[in-house]
Amino acid sequence: MLILGLDPSLSCTGWGVIRAEGSRISHIANGQVPTDAKAPMAQRLAALQAALAGVIADYRPDRAAAEEVFLNKNPQSTLKLAQARGCVLAACGAAGLAVNEHAARLVKKAVVGTGGAEKAQVQAMLKVLLPGAQITGADAADALAVAIADAHLSYTPTSR
């Protein structure tokens, strides 16, 4: 099963695709979709949605997973994040992908073992879980962590 992990952001959305076979995972691809901060909002959102539609068409994941929205102290930042997240969900919905949503603390706990893990700890664990993967940046790393968490949280071994 291919899982597309997504870390929505208006400035740079991360994405990562992994293969999950039972309890085993492997890296397929990852990347980041930056938007031009000087462009009008509608163009930024359209570019984000189009880029993610391309990723979905290229890799044909079986499902997607996205980090849940969190509230910033700045309401304007929260609104921009929500708009980017809407584009991410719309791209998945247009492709017929189911999207599981996971809180950031749950993602960290699933990948590192503690919900209070720092970004550096998550990135270090990704090197262990996905040996040899060339990760394109912090946003792509976060997206891969979401995909891995989704695989771990959805996997239930059969009893023998």
Give the domain ranges of the chain: 2-154
Q: Whose structure tokens read 């940046």? A: 137
The predicted model scores a pTM of 0.93
Give the active site residues. Answer: 7, 67, 139
pLDDT along the chain (160 residues), means of 10: 96 97 95 97 97 98 90 81 94 96 94 92 96 96 97 64
pLDDT at 156: 53
- Residue 139, marked binder: yes
- Residue 7, marked binder: yes
Q: Which two tokens stand for residue 77?
A: 């930042």
Q: In 3D, which of 133, 54, 44, 52 has the Cα closest to residue 90?
A: 52
Contact 136, 32 (CB under 8 A): yes
How would CATH label the architecture of 2-154?
Answer: 2-Layer Sandwich (3.30)
Assign residue 81 a region (left: φ > 0; alpha: ψ between -120 and 50; beta: otherwise): alpha
Q: Whose structure tokens read 């990347």? A: 31
